[in-house]
Amino acid sequence: MRITRLKAGTESVPATARLARPGIAALLAALAVELVDELFDGTKGAALPLIRHDLALNYVQVGLLTAIPLVVGSLLELPMGVLSGPRARRRRFILGGGLVLIGAVLAAGLAHSFAVLVIALTVFFPASGAFVSLTQAALMDAAPDRQAQHMARWTLAGSTGAVAGPLLAAAVLAAGGTWRLAFAIVAVAAAAAWAAVAVTGRARPGQRQHQQTPAAGPASEPGAAGAAAAVSEPDDEKSWPGWRPAAALVRRSGALRWLALLEVSDLLLDVLTAFLAVYLVAVVHASPAVAALGVAVRLGAGLAGDAILIRLLERRDGRSVLRASVPLALILFPAFLLVPGIGPKLALLAALTLVTAPWYPVLQAELYGSLPGHSGLAVSLTSAAGLLGGLGPLAVGLLAQRLGLGWAMALLCVAPVAMLAVPRRRSS
């Protein structure tokens, strides 16, 4: 990544070096929060067959384990962004949500009935909203001019957790443990992330004065210095304007456009991933083992794409990178559906995954950027849109039932077509 360096002969500033360390530490703590959230999701997904066997769940109950937490949890999370309000109160929400999240993971690991498990997972959802979503909002507030870069780091941390989750479950099972032990390990990791946020987010004497001086030292990470303050500093974000002014603000800001693009883009992101293994088995006639390989290729390419994007966004504007990816996606996704042979399909899948890596982080950063000073409102809007976004997988399932999964997957082409609506960045 590109780091601002002092010209030869320029005197270094000692305060900068002192500021860089806690800033980077707080940035890493924030990223650890997202990693742990996805770690639990990946571990839960890998352990689901064992959970089903141990608790004697039928397929309807398995479906409800996803549906109930999504719907009920999203409704509980919906007002959280605006209720968290000023940053001092937001910090209490973050730390309180983290404690509830740890308890929910432990409760899920100790569950011996469907009712207890579904309650634990439902509680986990709004706790994740407080601990994870509000930490993301704080990170966006830390450096408004580097939101895309920080979102790229955030996405990379999540991808790392998503890949590590199944690996953790496999390692625990190979060592003779159970899925309950895997959940306990995730809870310990969540506790470590909570402690890191609590420690690095604590305001230090004189920190505000140092923060007001731009960091220019060779060891400083751009935007990292503000990360600690963003999680804990008592500086208030703009006060809640009220429901009607907030609605007017959302309409004027263009936030609805970014929300819509976020949800549509998810068709070629999470929805494609959710149906990938089924598609490879039912349509391509691959074996379950090859289908699992396809999911691994998808996750691995996603991790690589997120890492590449961090460096790319140091050199290019996020919106330009996003616009450049759309024509490639319009070519790669139909080619993935049409090309014969599992080898070429997996190669095209990896390329498509790399190309679409900028979509979520850049669009999410643009949403925050459209509502400067109102990151809590952006969090609540994202939760509301997520309720509607849950219709995407349902729509694909209904279309697959009527037309066949091959045709249903073809309709996912609506995502890159819609992404053509991403506007160019206005010249300053």
Question: For the segment 279-315, what is each residue's pLDDT rounded down to a tens digit?
Answer: 888 888 988 778 878 888 898 999 999 999 999 998 8
Q: Is residue 74 very low, low, confident or very high in pLDDT (cuts 50, 70, 90)?
A: confident
Q: Is residue 109 very low, low, confident or very high in pLDDT (cuts 50, 70, 90)?
A: very high
CATH fold group of domain 242-428: Growth Hormone; Chain: A; (1.20.1250)
Q: Taking the mean position of all CA atoms in its chain, how far away is CA 151? A: 8
Is pLDDT above 70 for 269?
A: yes
Question: Phi and psi of 119, rounded to 5°?
Answer: -65, -45
Contact 364, 351 (CB under 8 A): no
Q: Provide DSSP, 351-364.
A: HHHHHTTTHHHHHH
CATH fold group of domain 1-237: Growth Hormone; Chain: A; (1.20.1250)
CA-CA distance, 38 to 357, in Å (whole number)?
Answer: 17
Phi-psi sector, 405: left (phi>0), alpha (psi -120 to 50), beta: alpha
Q: In the chain, where does the domain assigned CATH 1.20.1250.20 lie?
A: 1-237, 242-428
CA-CA distance, 353 to 252, in Å (whole number)?
Answer: 33
Is pLDDT above 70 for 345?
A: yes
Residue scoring higher pLDDT (357 or 234): 357
Summarised one tens digit per residue, pLDDT across range 130-167 is 899 889 888 888 778 888 888 999 999 999 998 898 88
The DSSP secondary-structure symbol of 132 reads I
- Token pair, residue 382, equals 């994202």
231-243 burial by CB neighbour count: b if 16+ within 10 A, else e? Answer: bbbeeebeeeeee
Which has the closest alpha carbon to 167: 155, 152, 185, 190? 185
| Predicted pLDDT at 240 | 55
pTM (2 d.p.)? 0.73
Q: Is 149 exposed, middle or buried (0-12, 13-18, 19+ CB in 10 A)?
A: buried
